[in-house]
Amino acid sequence: MTAPTPIRRALVSVSDKTHLEVLAQILIDSQVEVLSTGGTYQALEALGVAVVKVSEYTGAPEILGGRVKTLHPKIHGGILALPTPAHEAELRLHGIAPIDLVVVNLYPFRQVVAEPGSSFEDAVENIDIGGPAMVRAAAKNWQRVAVVVDPADYTRLGEALREHGGALPESLRRSLMRKAYAHTAAYDAAIAGYLARFDDVGLSVGTDALPDRLFVAGAAQGELRYGENPHQPARFYATELAAGEPAGLHRAVQHQGKALSYNNLLDADAALGLCRDLSRLGPAAAVIKHVSPCGAAIARGDEALADVYVRAREADAESAFGGIVALSGPVDRAVAERLAETFLEVVIAPSFTPEALALLAGKKNLRLLSLEDMLVGTGPEAQPALRLRSIAGGLLAQREDAVTVAAAQGKVVTRRAPTASELRDLELAQIVGKAVRSNAIVLCKDGATVGIGGGQTSRVEAARQATARAGARAQGAVLASDAFFPFRDGVDAAAAAGVTAIVQPGGSVRDEEVVTAADEHGLAMVFTGQRHFRH
């Protein structure tokens, strides 16, 4: 390959004008001729760049309300021409000058469709046509043309121009080319994903519908410490599928501690999801170990968050060691003091006060993650997020599980109905049970879990595990089962431990036998008709 020629002519057309003043100075210092359009032209001119309008250069005006600006042979010929005698002769014949640098980013399609009240017409008008065409053309001709789609790359562009006498090395042009194609691919995926929300006559397909085609595009958020095990490399990608969902972990701010691992993020996500669900019942704390809850609690009256956390931790203090904690409110000094009492891997909360950060700074290996709007958009009216899991040969996709039939909305099937306090604990147990690996049994009492049995191959064994962990605390507790009891043995085990009320989906061929067992023991039982398996 011949040595790269200096950058003599650039085309700049950017929707995102972040750091445009940096680019302007680079173009001025490098004495680059600049072509531009619309708002970018005005902004560059105001920054002192000697800029030429594309319409003046091509001799063709912008038409159709700006829909056509750069779709012209003098633009695409200048970008796509190879440095060969034949192409150079053609350029001279048609009066086309080579374009050596293309700085383009695209219409803000994602931002527009994310705005409340955005219409289908708004979305269509923000589908960029000329921008992707120029980016792809420049990337195709990367051996001669540099293409920049990210304002974060302006600085290294300027440094390379200074270091290489106004030219750009092959390694940088190749890097920019890869980034450009990833940029247009992600943009197209966002458009296709949005359009999948509508049927062939333009009507919304509804929140439960899944698309016929799935487009997944994501940007790496940096290397993780390792995967599930230290010998496995891993990365975290923020995907376009997360648009419109409550804030995800890619937006969390890490205040201290070593880099996160794959397992840390899985556990933090489980803790965040459970805390979000519980926060609908009041101030909440969740403790997660190996993607399953080992303790959770909600406030009793005006109870302080520090005390709520302690009750969640003490639900299974042994398992909480080395766990991940999510809290629904800010971490102040009082909460921080209680957090510092136990070895923890990660704490995630909306915020940390300066006093809390100072106190926890002594815990060098503790990662503190703040996610300011972690509870925004998590109400029962929110659309369940799309969740993916990979298997051999492809991806499984489903909507996130949501408790839409709470215990209080269920059908009382026993002679005794639950009391108000039992109903509150049943709802807590039901929400926690949704986050436990099936088969799952959860015991709660006075606004906190006291025993959890999960990941068992029989329901009665899950009940035995939960009641054994609860011990004496099972007396007066309530129980939630993620699926129906196939036999009465699980109810008998719960009653023997002192459980007073049960919530379950119902639907077994032996429901009558199970309800009879509950009546024999004087238990209250509620059927919700809604199963919550988690595999």
| Residue where the block lists tokens 């990367």 | 142
- CA dist 288 and 180 (Å) reads 40
Q: Give the angle subtended at the CA of 370 by the CAs of 369 and 373, to the nearest 5°.
A: 140
Could you tell me which residues come within 8 angstroms of residue 18 by beta carbon, excluding any fewer than 6 positions away?
Answer: 151
Contact call for residues 511 and 483 (beta carbons, < 8 A): no
Contact call for residues 407 and 421 (beta carbons, < 8 A): no
94 a catalytic residue: no
- CA dist 466 and 190 (Å) reads 44
Relative to beta strand 524-527, strand 411-412 is antiparallel
Contact call for residues 420 and 438 (beta carbons, < 8 A): no
- CA dist 364 and 195 (Å) reads 47
Active-site residue, selected from the candidate residues 19, 164, 250, 290 = 290
Phi first, then psi: give them for residue 295, nearest 5 degrees. Answer: -170, 145
DSSP-assigned letters across all residues of 361-397: TT-TT-EEEE-TTTTTT-STTSPPPEEEEEETTEEEE
Per DSSP, 279 falls in state G
Give the three-state DSSP class for 124.
Answer: helix
Q: How far is CA 505 from the centre of its chain?
A: 30
Q: Give the angle subtended at the CA of 249 by the CAs of 245 and 252, to the nearest 5°.
A: 115
Per DSSP, 115 falls in state S
Active-site residue, selected from the candidate residues 140, 164, 179, 255 = 140
Rounded to a whole number of angstroms, the CA Rg of the chain reads 30
Prior bond of 439 cis (ω within 30°): yes
* Helix spans in 279-369 (H): 305-314, 317-320, 333-339, 354-360
Return the C-alpha torsion angle 496, 502, 508, 512, nearest 10: 70
Phi first, then psi: give them for residue 388, nearest 5 degrees. Answer: -115, 150
- CA dist 160 and 175 (Å) reads 13
140 a catalytic residue: yes
Contact call for residues 220 and 235 (beta carbons, < 8 A): yes
Angle between helices 420-434 and 262-278 (to 10 degrees): 160
What is the identity of the amino acid at 463? A
- CA dist 166 and 144 (Å) reads 13
Instruction: Provide the token pair at 468.
Output: 């054994």
Q: Which residues are catalytic?
A: 140, 290
